[in-house]
Amino acid sequence: MRGRPGGARLHFGPSRKLPGCAIWRVVDGVLGLVDRQEYRNAMARLGAAVSVITTTGVDGDAGFTASAVCSVTDDPPTLLVCMNRGGSLHDAMKANGVLCVNTLAAAQEHLSPLFAGFVDVPMAEWFDAAAWTTLVTGSPVLADAVVSFDCRIAQVTEVGTHSVLFCEVLAIQAGPAHEGLIYFGRSYHRITVAA
Ligand SMILES: Cc1cc2nc3c(=O)[nH]c(=O)nc-3n(C[C@H](O)[C@H](O)[C@H](O)COP(=O)(O)O)c2cc1C
């Protein structure tokens, strides 16, 4: 029987396993948080676009790979980016107050591990791997990205290990690509739309 919130604990009835479904954690009686690894494994099942988030400022151009990007509202046009507070670019990104979300086309898959720091190439050379322009903020805009959102960071909220950057969109560049890139099940997949 499903209970009502009535204090520190919520009470739920027995979990039932449906045919073909995996239940990784069965909590009978007490609602608790799943553990971190279970959560990560479950989130790996959410397909997401892959973007290179760039910025510019006193220390020059910089960027990192992110899949935790989503729309917040169209009035004012706002998206969010979740950024690990332990990442080497975190403080510079916040201080610069500007960023560009460059969503990768299928042919740009190699930029994802590069800007994640997973390839043995110095950061100073990462931008040499592609062509870049600028729009309004001066943050690097990736040529031929599926789409680029040039933004100013309007608000930052810290949640656990991450900062949520709420970004107002100042300019958009839509690219020619018909093949997008999705990160799903811890690997890359191409998706195609009719031309
Ligand atoms: C496909 C993919 C998606 C990622 N998504 C995010 C993300 O949404 N937010 C984030 O902070 N880091 C994300 N990362 C990790 C960062 O790109 C980077 O590896 C991490 O911040 C470590 O950076 P550092 O070596 O500069 O500290 C992602 C990496 C990959 C390969």
- pLDDT score recorded for residue 37: 94
Looking at the structure, tell me whether residues 183 and 123 fall in a common domain. Answer: yes
Give 51's pLDDT tier (boundaries 50, 70, 90). Answer: very high
110 neighbors 28 (Cβ within 8 angstroms): no
Looking at the structure, tell me whether residues 98 and 26 fall in a common domain. Answer: no
- pLDDT score recorded for residue 178: 82
Residue 5 has pLDDT above 50, yes or no: no
- pLDDT score recorded for residue 192: 92
Nearest to 127 by CA among 140, 139, 138: 140
Give the distance (Å) from ligand 1 centre to CA of residue 64.
6
Looking at the structure, tell me whether residues 89 and 58 fall in a common domain. Answer: yes
For range 174-190, the mean pLDDT: 94
Give 151's pLDDT tier (boundaries 50, 70, 90). Answer: very high
Domain carrying residue 115? 48-192
Residue 1 has pLDDT above 80, yes or no: no
CATH number at residue 185: 2.30.110.10
Tell me, using a 6 A CB cutoff, whether residue 126 lines ligand 1.
Answer: no
Q: Which residues contact 147 (CB under 8 A, 6 or more apart)?
A: 103, 172, 173, 174, 175
β-bridge partners, 98? 152
Instruction: Name the domain count of the chain.
Output: 2
Tell me, using a 6 A CB cutoff, whether residue 83 lines ligand 1.
Answer: yes
Residue 109 has pLDDT above 50, yes or no: yes
Give 56's pLDDT tier (boundaries 50, 70, 90). Answer: very high
Give the distance (Å) from ligand 1 centre to CA of residue 191.
22
Tell me, using a 6 A CB cutoff, whether residue 164 lines ligand 1.
Answer: no
For range 43-61, the mean pLDDT: 97
Of the chain, the end-to-end C-alpha distance in Å amounts to 52
Looking at the structure, tell me whether residues 58 and 142 fall in a common domain. Answer: yes
Q: 35 or 155, which is more confident?
A: 155
Cβ–Cβ contacts within 10 Å for residue 107, how many?
12
Looking at the structure, tell me whether residues 105 and 130 fall in a common domain. Answer: yes
Tell me, using a 6 A CB cutoff, whether residue 163 lines ligand 1.
Answer: no
Looking at the structure, tell me whether residues 171 and 135 fall in a common domain. Answer: yes
Tell me, using a 6 A CB cutoff, whether residue 66 lines ligand 1.
Answer: yes
